[in-house]
Structure 1
């Protein structure tokens, strides 16, 4: 899936009347800006082959009128060069000035950072009034705007995120400029776009600022051809003077690499860390009551929620399941009309008769609490006798807080009954249903920034759910968000396939979550009459996500041994060092061979400087075949083996890949592990690791590898008195299992020479 980047040329032609520039950036690309006879038109070519051509029709909306280059009501004024530097780096820029026939100014520009990274920016020096001519599924301005047709000089496929669940609900793929293109989510539902050729060379396009009020609009005919334009949300009423928005475009040889560069640059713009901060719900095993779980709007017969969940606690203690927190979903607080917006975020009568705080003390479980949008009838709004300013839309039964103090007071009260982690759900509905958020250019961003500030103040790690793509990108400005749902609810679909959208989440700096699951196939009495055919697959996907492992079983119905494969004796999830992400070939096959991709993801653990790879493959079609090499896993050369079959070791390198085929099904998924080969005193050692776990060489279990002429040592950590069995393959002595019982400190050192721990 890689190309020879030393010979590949990437050209961005910015077509001005007077300008020619030719630059080279390392071994990556030659950037040419060449003179033609069109005003501020441009084309994108890869390896001298045309991929994208700009649309001639640009427009802006002002005073309920559309000013367009097509009818000359929007006129080109002039162009100029400029240089500068921002958080991405140094750039060379090209700027075009425009003016409507009524005298309104508009400026567009392209910034070229080198290395295949560009930003397109549009600025409104005079602002714009009554700019909502196109409504919420259109855009009030168009920059950039590309033709969608078959003029590309090689066949292109696409992958596009859309709708909610971080774009996973509306993700689409197919052939660019064909009927397939009509399926891409547009307007309110739009998200980042990937274009690729069959070799995997990839362009990523998305907004890079003003995320809550910008969209991509696809205006296509019945054949899937037309234009795609990025711009200000078409329902925004007024655009203030000097307002600007931007779009980033990144090219690289491979979808994964392109998304990584895209994410690196976006996080650089907003000072977002590579990994989110610590979060108890990501680090430890928890019990869940979300949609699809046994106790979602359901209790044991003739028992309260408090009594039912205490039965869960007693069972977990007896069975040895180390749950450390409780996720309480929307069933517990007051809502309008049963299951609508929040009226009062406190427990309903009879749900926890002893009180939430007392239940937390009794179980030693922390709370991970769900919230949703606010009802127009909520008790907090001044309109209803409360003390805070809200925008209230009674016809839609929805409201939005406006006071900065609201969220701080809200979370102060919640921390008094034991809130330690927060879950904000229904983000799509909060934005899409409300007129205020779609018409006011600052409303949605202000709401999220105020929420985030209060969450940071109280140190509440937070998960987002039902997150539309605009809010997914807005996460770049939110510091408290640690993880996001990248699937629909567990009840609603077969939602373990999260590898593609995990790229999106990981590259904007948060962990991807797939929701709760049943760890046992049969759960008698569950309210959905649901059977789970693939509990092990859900468990391993959850573990490899670096987000929550979230069983929602009935009392006495858990597969205890399966759950213990995910964590240590104290409930600490033994995860890899980054989320499992779909390999490049899965993107390409999704676009060019729909239905023939399966799910093939890869990740790794790093202990000391050594990289141990993990590959998960499931539901691979009969005629599909993957070759997984070390660079795709980001692991060291060495050996690989199939989980549970480490007596059979195979050489692993770029020339000796892991071969994945149709034998990797949902019921019998393939979990491969890799290890470097360690040279020690004339022997060759393979660290198989803790075979009882899905991640046998987790850095959360093993902190250091120390090799000397005297010994081969492995530092281990865990719970006091925990039994840890480590497998090592020796070329001279074959398979060796060394058992360690951890002391009160929870730390020990394994000695290969002594065959024990001390």
Structure 2
């Protein structure tokens, strides 16, 4: 009997060993942890789902684990993977729905992906949770310093301007506020402070259903991932996923490798980036930080200021960037009318373009009011 236990333990370790230096292990109770080398980086918390205005959770056994199975699969872009399935029983009103949490370790990439299948029933709430909450939880991880030798930091993108507005960093410890606002949360990078960001790191990011899923942080210092709480109905056979990507090459190169992996999965290339005028050629910017950001030359309007810049600038610029100062704005400074204000460009944007004889890169700040405006407009530029 002792030999049989040792054999089963050996098989479990071998089956959960992943690509390179990142490993995932799953115990018989459905707990999982991710390690880099011989050090644990992430330990799992609960699996849960909110339906019929009620939480069902592995914590209190209202979402009990039935069993753990394993298999394999193939992704057309990323290739072969091993799949560990945590099968839960969602029982409500005599209806049993199998909820499956998949943990996939990949042969060709240094990552572990987590996928949640919500089963063959529509999962409905009549009272929504907040948009900064989530209503499915898988995976979830403790935010913690595991021991005295654990010196990890994090940084994350969050908020507007592609996450630049509220980006922040700190220690990966239970008292840190990693995620401030669920719906605005972005990818999270965890790295080793003792390596000064030049060595091992993990990147936690959505892997699918990008607009309907999010990270949240609970008041018990756990990081949870799932469907936005404000969504009332989850369709049958719904699936979403999250990636934990590993790189030994530091923050800059590691993020680039993560991006290349995401591009490969979604069959994206550098085609449009390579053809982008604003990336490949020199331009003049009136963005935040520039002298002409909400500022003109003395005694003249913005139109004459832009013409003067064009005439006096000796540099071989290929375009001129016009920031958010030129159009009509409404609530939250979003676009209300994407046309030139007469006090800014008296002759209009088209005539300014003719006078400058150069490409224009124009700002378009958006919010809910902007979306309503776009629905009723045909916007085109020359």
TM-score range, shorter chain: 0.7 to 0.9
Counterpart among 296, 308, 313 of residue 311 in structure 1: 308
Higher Cα radius of gyration? 1
Q: Match for residue 79 of structure 1? A: 68
Q: CA deviation at 1:20?
A: 2.5
Q: CA deviation at 1:325?
A: 1.9
Counterpart among 110, 120, 123 of residue 117 in structure 2: 123
Q: Match for residue 213 of structure 1? A: 212
Q: CA deviation at 1:171?
A: 3.4
Q: CA deviation at 1:263?
A: 2.0
**TM-score, L = length of structure 2:** 0.82
- Cα distance in 2 for residues equivalent to 1:229 and 1:374: 27
| RMSD of aligned Cα (Å) | 3.2
Q: Is it true that 1:150 corresponds to 2:140 in the alignment?
A: no
| Cα 1:353/1:201, change in 2 over 3 Å | closer
| Cα 1:105/1:310, change in 2 over 3 Å | same
| Cα 1:119/1:366, change in 2 over 3 Å | same
3-state SS in 1 of match to 2:124: coil
Q: Match for residue 5 of structure 2? A: none
CA contact (8 A) 2:18 2:105 kept: no
CA contact (8 A) 1:53 1:147 kept: yes
Q: Match for residue 28 of structure 1? A: 20
Q: How does 1:176-191 map to 2 (within 5 A)?
A: 176-179=172-175, 181-191=176-186
Where in structure 1 are there 5+ consecutive unaligned residues?
1-15, 379-389, 391-398, 416-758
Q: CA deviation at 1:248?
A: 0.8
Q: CA deviation at 1:368?
A: 0.9
Q: CA deviation at 1:374?
A: 5.9
CA contact (8 A) 1:343 1:374 kept: no
Counterpart among 263, 268, 271 of residue 267 in structure 1: 263
Q: Is it true that 1:69 corresponds to 2:66 in the alignment?
A: no
3-state SS in 1 of match to 2:259: helix
- Cα distance in 1 for residues equivalent to 2:238 and 2:178: 31
3-state SS in 1 of match to 2:333: coil
CA contact (8 A) 1:75 1:101 kept: no
3-state SS in 2 of match to 1:182: coil
- Please list every run of at least 4 consecutive aligned residues from structure 1 whose deviation after the TM superposition is greater than 6 angstroms: 16-19, 24-27
Q: CA deviation at 1:65?
A: 1.1
CA contact (8 A) 2:117 2:239 kept: yes
More contact order relative to length (CA 8 Å, sep ≥ 6): 2
Counterpart among 264, 283, 286 of residue 286 in structure 1: 283
Q: CA deviation at 1:158?
A: 2.2
| Cα 1:307/1:401, change in 2 over 3 Å | closer
- Cα distance in 1 for residues equivalent to 2:287 and 2:131: 31
CA contact (8 A) 2:17 2:25 kept: no
Q: Match for residue 598 of structure 1? A: none
Q: CA deviation at 1:29?
A: 4.3
- Cα distance in 1 for residues equivalent to 2:349 and 2:129: 48
- Cα distance in 1 for residues equivalent to 2:219 and 2:41: 18
| Cα 1:202/1:295, change in 2 over 3 Å | closer
- Deviation track 1:570-601 (CA, whole Å, cap 9, x = no partner) reads xxxxxxxxxxxxxxxxxxxxxxxxxxxxxxxx
Q: Is it true that 1:410 corresponds to 2:379 in the alignment?
A: yes
CA contact (8 A) 2:101 2:117 kept: yes
| Cα 1:237/1:307, change in 2 over 3 Å | same
Q: Is it true that 1:326 corresponds to 2:320 in the alignment?
A: yes
Q: Is it true that 1:346 corresponds to 2:339 in the alignment?
A: yes
Q: CA deviation at 1:128?
A: 1.6
- Cα distance in 1 for residues equivalent to 2:17 and 2:58: 34
Q: Match for residue 725 of structure 1? A: none
Q: CA deviation at 1:152?
A: 5.1
| Cα 1:271/1:231, change in 2 over 3 Å | same
Q: How does 1:623-662 map to 2 (within 5 A)?
A: none
- Deviation track 1:593-633 (CA, whole Å, cap 9, x = no partner) reads xxxxxxxxxxxxxxxxxxxxxxxxxxxxxxxxxxxxxxxxx
Where in structure 2 are there 5+ consecutive unaligned residues?
1-7
Q: How does 1:174-573 map to 2 (within 5 A)?
A: 174-179=170-175, 181-197=176-192, 198-199=194-195, 200-221=199-220, 226-256=221-251, 257-274=253-270, 276-316=273-313, 320-336=314-330, 340-373=333-366, 376=369, 399=372, 401=374, 409-411=378-380, 414-415=381-382
Q: Is it true that 1:50 corresponds to 2:79 in the alignment?
A: no
3-state SS in 1 of match to 2:363: strand
Q: CA deviation at 1:329?
A: 2.0
| Cα 1:364/1:213, change in 2 over 3 Å | same
- Deviation track 1:530-568 (CA, whole Å, cap 9, x = no partner) reads xxxxxxxxxxxxxxxxxxxxxxxxxxxxxxxxxxxxxxx
How many matched pairs? 362
